[in-house]
Structure 1
Amino acid sequence: MPVRPAETEAELEAHLHGICFKTGPPQRIGVEIEWLVHDARNPRCPVEPDRLHSAAHHLRTLPLTSLLTFEPGGQLELSSLPATSLTACIESVAADLALVRPAMRAMGLGMAGHGHNPWHPPHRVLTDDPRYSAMEAYFDRWGGAGRSMMCSTASVQVCVDAGYEEPGPLGLGRRWLMSHLLGAVLCAAFANSPASEGCPTGYRTTRQVVWSQLDPGRTLAPPQSADPRAAWARYVLDAPVMCVRREDGPWDAPQGLTFRDWVRTGRPRPPTREDLDYHVSTLFPPVRPRGHLELRMIDAQAGDGGWIVPLAVTAALFDDVEAAERAYRIVKPLAETAGSRPAPRNPLWRHAVRGALTDPELHAAAVACFAAAQEALPRLGAAPEVIAAVADFTERFVARGRCPADDHLDALCAAEAEAAHAHPSDGDITELLGRARP
């Protein structure tokens, strides 16, 4: 809980300037991976809260290096420590998964890599956490997307260093701009959430659609600026407050209260630096600066090692000098398509969300970026199996203008065609599947 005395608006803005972009040689990489937890025998059967609480208690006894947490809907998350190389990051998380997966199977639970729950409507399992209660109340003002985001979505979040203060291929300004343009390419290439409650939604990444429907004051990207620090500080202070932490009682915040208003009025109590840091943790733009850059646009991936490919590709394009230069030149023209509107509510991101790599511009950019990443991975010391996994994903999806969501849509279409053949009166979803493909 807050311990520091209240500070002035200028002091808090200076604090943000100091912590949001910590510059220097890009040396560290990290990843946060989420999975949907399901009954191992029948994924369509919701897991009872008692089973999830029991699983959480048991998993926290394992000797893990990564931080293990559960999201409001019971999604399991592993957050790696910052690693000094791509290889070290992969080895650390893979070792933790080698402990977590068998423990989950022993409890009759499975871990599925989908960006959005394809089986069940959102249901909050963690009901005694004041943060999540305040978050649910806040997002309910914007409709049902908030509960879906909290309880039904899962991602692979890659964290890279902010880069050098000086201009250049690994400079802060270029990495900040590139993250928002390359972000649309990564969103499209790894789109993996085309269904909800058993039906196609018409989007390759329903997860990103859900995020785009939330409060724009905390989920849109800040305006592009020659001074990312100043733009981010304004964004943070002008964002609505979601939680006012209290020793007793709910954490709900007054409606419409921005952090800047809170500082100026001192109500409902004077805010502190710790309140500001906590406020930043409730902001969810596609790229969030927390000293490093958190890239938050990638859907969870299927398979034991599906998360490795987006991690490896992103690390290569950001941290290898030659690949970073090529990636920047590849994605910079996408700014014309994006226009002046912030991600993810601009045309570039909307093309990524609906059509993914069926969009010709995104497909061309993805092919070129993945080629640059493949060339860079040996220079980063990536293991042969990592290089092979990226090559396989590139051949299976990127080169063909496909993404993982297309495999799911094909499976749905095949299942419904078979059902329609057996029961012709029940085959109307095939038409819906056709409409889901732009």
Structure 2
Amino acid sequence: MPEGDCTEPRGRPGDTVTEAEVEALVHGICFKNGPPTSTGVELEWLVHDRRSPHLPLSSARVETARAALRTKPLHSVVTVEPGGQLELSSLPAASLMECVSGVTADLAVVHDTLAPLGLTLTGLGADPWRAPTRVLREPRYEAMECWFDRTGRAGRRMMCSTASVQVCLDAGYEEPGPLGYARRWRLAHLLGPVLVAAFANSPFQEGRSTGWRSTRQAVWAGIDPGRSGAPALDQEPRAAWARHALDAPVMCVRTADGDGAPWLVPEGLSFRSWVRGGQPRPPTRADLDYHLTTLFPPVRPRGHLELRMIDAQSGTDGWVVPLAVTCALFDDAEATETAYRTVKPLAERAGPTPAPHSPLWLDAARHGLADPELREAAAVCFAAALDALPRLGAAPEVVAAVAAYADRYVARGRCPADDLLDAGPLEGPPVNGAPAPGKEIRR
């Protein structure tokens, strides 16, 4: 949701900042308090050639698609990720159905635009065929790749080969209670493993089974915790996030616009150390804003809460179910209380390690709803969501889709990845949710 984004410019971006100013800025702008009235979603899609999904796409072909989409009257913001993934970011919507209707209309336009170019959107959490290949040649991604390559291949895979459904919700009230920001922050982290397990949809990588229901989540867990980890949950959220952001490693120091010089990629430099030492140059407010965009925890406060742990879903409307379930569990007070009581005991199993590196998060990614505790929690949460959705004004077809998903997967301790594993290695992308040619996915 662009409105309320904690990375939007404020003040004069060239002004240098002190440590106290940085902490106050992060503390004050990343949790916008008030009644939870807005809903948003960011849909990432893998993009494949319709006839030869195993082949990488050229930079020129991706740019042609991006240029074609720029000419279309879309309500969502369309961007391209480093590996050519397409992302649609909705505007803040006043209701779940307003969000669903707007994004559904935009997706129809995107599909119609890509089809003549021989391209299709694939809703999977990780690319099952292609090795990670970066197609965008921009300073940000050059620096990001350099930074990630110091610690292995997970960073490149994250950048170029993963896709998700990211649900965006208001932070919540200042006051305590089910809809208060502190409770919603904690609920997002406790509910995260249940959402990972219920919607795991990425069991393959480069043509082979990985042993994970959500390979995407396994990839994210392989990234440095300072970049992808969450702050401690036993602290006040705003203060904890401010400390986390200051102590997180600096990915890059940008050079002057237009001078052509590569961005600096420091090693072992936290933003707090940068502020204190002032080298290689004193950081500015704009540097702080940019630094916040390079942190990728499973729940990111950007004025609103951005839940980033759900795999992309197959089919043109598969994303509606995780959006609807998550909104219901956060925006209906009764469902929120039920969900919180259900997932709170799971915190003991997670242990002190923050998400997404804790044992519980890893079990969710590896086993999906085959894990009995996660299956039981998912069943209660889906039932609470189904009760709440009519109160939130959800259309009958959305309620029916959630109910069908609960019957097909949750009640059976399964997730979409299990369908894919039953069918064997994919030979082509699921087009509009259909099985790949030559393969029949057992339902």
| TM-score for both structures, normalised by structure 2 | 0.92
Distance in 2 (alpha carbons) for counterparts of 1:414 and 1:282: 33
Q: Is the Cα contact below 8 Å between 2:207 and 2:426 reproduced in 1? A: no
User: Residues 413 and 15 from structure 1, CA distance in 2 versus in 1: closer, same or farther, beyond 3 angstroms?
Assistant: closer
- Other-structure match for 2:21: 11
Structure 1 residue 377: Cα displacement: 0.5
Distance in 1 (alpha carbons) for counterparts of 2:425 and 2:55: 22
- Other-structure match for 1:284: 296
User: Residues 26 and 343 from structure 1, CA distance in 2 versus in 1: closer, same or farther, beyond 3 angstroms?
Assistant: same
1:115 matched to 2:125: yes
- Give, as a single letter, the amino acid of the residue that structure 2 aligns with 1:329: R
Q: Is the Cα contact below 8 Å between 2:196 and 2:309 reproduced in 1? A: yes
Distance in 2 (alpha carbons) for counterparts of 1:61 and 1:43: 26
Q: Is the Cα contact below 8 Å between 1:160 and 1:315 reproduced in 2? A: yes
- Give, as a single letter, the amino acid of the residue that structure 2 aligns with 1:268: P
1:76 corresponds, among 73, 78, 86, to 86
Q: State the identity %.
A: 65
- Give, as a single letter, the amino acid of the residue that structure 1 aligns with 2:335: A
Distance in 1 (alpha carbons) for counterparts of 2:170 and 2:13: 29
Q: Is the Cα contact below 8 Å between 2:209 and 2:425 reproduced in 1? A: no
Structure 1 residue 83: Cα displacement: 0.7
3-state secondary structure, aligned to 1:377: helix
Distance in 1 (alpha carbons) for counterparts of 2:78 and 2:17: 33
Q: CA-to-partner distance for each residue in 1:207-262, whole Å, 9 max, x for gaps?
A: 01111111111111101133111110000000010021112311133211110011
- Give, as a single letter, the amino acid of the residue that structure 2 aligns with 1:61: T
- Other-structure match for 2:438: none
Alignment map for 1:311-326 (pairs within 5 Å): 311-326=323-338
- Give, as a single letter, the amino acid of the residue that structure 1 aligns with 2:208: C
Query: Which consecutive unaligned segments of at least 5 residues does structure 2 have?
Result: 1-8, 428-443
Structure 1 residue 413: Cα displacement: 7.0
Structure 1 residue 414: Cα displacement: 10
Q: CA-to-partner distance for each residue in 1:158-201, whole Å, 9 max, x for gaps?
A: 01111111111111111111111101100100000000011100
- Give, as a single letter, the amino acid of the residue that structure 2 aligns with 1:119: W
Give every structure 1 segment of 4 or more consecutive aligned residues whose post-TM-superposition deviation is greater than 2 Å: 1-4, 45-49
Alignment map for 1:159-238 (pairs within 5 Å): 159-238=168-247
- When the two chains are superposed, the root-mean-square deviation of aligned CA atoms in Å is 1.3
Q: Is the Cα contact below 8 Å between 1:138 and 1:252 reproduced in 2? A: no
- Give, as a single letter, the amino acid of the residue that structure 2 aligns with 1:207: R
Q: Is the Cα contact below 8 Å between 2:56 and 2:133 reproduced in 1? A: no
| TM-score for both structures, normalised by structure 1 | 0.93
1:341 matched to 2:353: yes
- Other-structure match for 1:328: 340
Distance in 2 (alpha carbons) for counterparts of 1:329 and 1:393: 23
1:407 matched to 2:416: no
Q: CA-to-partner distance for each residue in 1:319-362, whole Å, 9 max, x for gaps?
A: 01110011111111111111111111111111101111000000
Distance in 2 (alpha carbons) for counterparts of 1:114 and 1:5: 42
1:255 corresponds, among 256, 261, 267, to 267
Structure 1 residue 268: Cα displacement: 1.0
Q: CA-to-partner distance for each residue in 1:97-120, whole Å, 9 max, x for gaps?
A: 111101111111010001000001
1:40 matched to 2:42: no
2:393 corresponds, among 364, 372, 381, to 381
| Range that drifts further, 172-181 or 184-193 | 172-181
1:142 matched to 2:151: yes
User: Residues 413 and 278 from structure 1, CA distance in 2 versus in 1: closer, same or farther, beyond 3 angstroms?
Assistant: closer
- Other-structure match for 1:20: 30
- Other-structure match for 1:433: none
